[in-house]
Amino acid sequence: MTDIQTKPLAAIYVRVSTQDQAQHGFSLDAQQEALINYAKAIGYDLFRIYRDEGKSAKDLKRPEMQQMLKDAQDKKFSAIFIYKLDRFSRSIKDLILTIDQLKTWGIDFISLQDKIETASASGKLMFHILSAFAEFERNIIGDRTKFGMERKAKEGGVVTKAPLGYRIVNKQLLIDPDKVNLVQNIFREFAETEISLTQLAKKNNLTTAGIKKLLMNTSYLGKTKFADQESQGTHQAIIEQDLFNKVQEILTS
């Protein structure tokens, strides 16, 4: 009869940079031994040891770190054990956001020297605090991104990909000489003939929704739009205002 695995599995992560080794005498083996003993003492079996030797903690782009996070996402173990938080990352943002991600995967996080863990009630409380900081950080990033895009739109910059008839060169929206006539002909044909949206779309190898979106795009008037705020852009218009207005009247009639 074979033994059934009943204990949760632990991943142990150890890291030391060349500078750490020289200045402070940190040892991967010492970290590893302490973590193995601690994990076993609190009821874990060892899944794997991930070792990043001679690697800086300025970001998470370390081979063993990336492999461990992939295995965490695949739920190959129940908890990650580290010796100190700075062994994991020196970036508070990376640390908080990664711990928050581990929470969504159901992976516990234990830092031996910092007395931080998420397996107990008090540890879970600390986890919730870290998660709150993670949410705050995401909101700050989101606000900065939105502010930047809104400012860019107000200044006439390119916010999204170039619409048909334009191309982006050095972050500037420029007329595409190969497609500008196509866009102008689409507007004229819809305004001056009895062609339907479906027919016009099929003729130009677009969907009906796609052709309608094109005909309503104020980018062709030289404008930019973000979050329902429209501003005058820095790019050249390719459709005259009168023609654009006529097309809108037909679309709403």
SS (H, E, C) 177-205: CCCHHHHHHHHHHHHHCCCCHHHHHHHCC
* From 17, 78, 89, 131, active-site residue: 17
Residue 231 designated active-site: no
Largest Cα span, the chain: 84
**Environment class of residue 85 by beta-carbon count within 10 Å: exposed (0-12), middle (13-18) or buried (19+)?**
middle
Residues facing 13 on adjacent strands: 50, 82
User: Can you list the positions of beta strands (E) in 4-124?
Assistant: 9-16, 45-53, 79-82, 108-111, 116-117
> What's the CA gap between 87 and 55, in Å, rounded?
10
Which residues carry out catalysis?
17
